[in-house]
Structure 1
Amino acid sequence: KAEDASRQAAQGPRRQYLKKGEGVVQPTKPAQKADRTVRNPPLPSRTELTQHTQKLSSTQAASRSKDYISRNTREVMVPKPKVAAPPRRTHQAGSIPKYLQTRKTEWAEQREHSAQAAEMARIQALTPPGTRLVGEQEKATILKDLKQSLAGAVLELNSFPSVVDTLSRIKAREACEHRIGDLEKAIAAFEKPMVFIRDDI
């Protein structure tokens, strides 16, 4: 007994277990049995069976009536359409396409025409009533004639003696100088960008 007591002291306090029938008993739920009955799909009706049978027989008859050998022969004999090759690229990379060059030329011509029309409208607005604008060709011809006349007048003036003693020579020299002045004024006027003259000239 002394050995048992020392063994119990070494093991620690003894555990107290409940005996059968003592303590609170928890109510147990009854175990539910799994429903192991296999539910088969419902059987088809008589009309559904007849429809299904007719459908099967018609598909089987159609497959029997097809002649697969002749169909395959026809498919082989009929040539398949060739796949068209992609169009050959004619445009060279890095260069302006021809249609763009044409369009650029057309746009430049349109701009030039519109600029000319705007210039004509501006000149028309600046033209005084009863006058007209002298064209470039007409202006060049008039300037050429005026310069020739001026050269002739200068030669005539140089032909006079340095000392003019008679009244007629004095008047002739003054008339020549006056004509030279008029010609110089006319040349300066016709050398302007825009020259207007009367309509009746």
Structure 2
Amino acid sequence: MPGLSEDKKSLLNKCYVFGQNGEFGVQTKLHMTRFEKEEWLVSAGSRLRIFETSFGKFALAICYDVEFPELARAAARMGAHFLVVPSCTDDRHGYLRVRYCAQARAIENQMFVIQSSTVGSLPMVPAVSMNYGQAAIYTPSDYSFARDGLLAEGTVNQEMMIIGDLNLQLIEESRASGTVLPLRDSTSTEEAIRIVDHVTLKN
């Protein structure tokens, strides 16, 4: 939802997280789409937050943010067990872009990823007059988890609640002794760039 920066000079895209006793935290969107920047003049946030709760640690990747692997990787390395991805897309292309990236983040970081999409139409609001979405809970792709890496899934373009049991012990076990260990074995972007060789195959 829209909100002002602390100095009241910038418009931000914010997601509020509420605890069981009324406490709350805020995550601002860190990467703006072209529409947000060029049409709405929304500014990017600057900090990724890890929310610690009685049921585990998690981070938020707001819509387009999930398309940047380094954010989820940072959250996982800081102890996050799952990632929450609230999203708003107006067509199937946009929805699938977010979904496929969310599923990739679940595999790369051996974590649960929860996608919650807007659905329905708001004809009086041009920017979000149409919404295409589907709620889902994704898992790592390993023997301990749901088949197809899909713990729960809603119906396309239907407002509904989905429920899944997030067994965080499975996440810990996967990260320690899974069939593959992508979180442990991954390198930083800087390290990956250092091993790149350029090979010329043209005259």
Normalised by the shorter chain, which TM-score bucket?
under 0.3
Q: Greater strand share, 1 or 2? A: 2
TM-score, normalization: structure 1? 0.18
TM-score, normalization: structure 2? 0.18
Q: Greater helix share, 1 or 2? A: 1
Greater relative CO (CA pairs within 8 A, separation 6+): 1
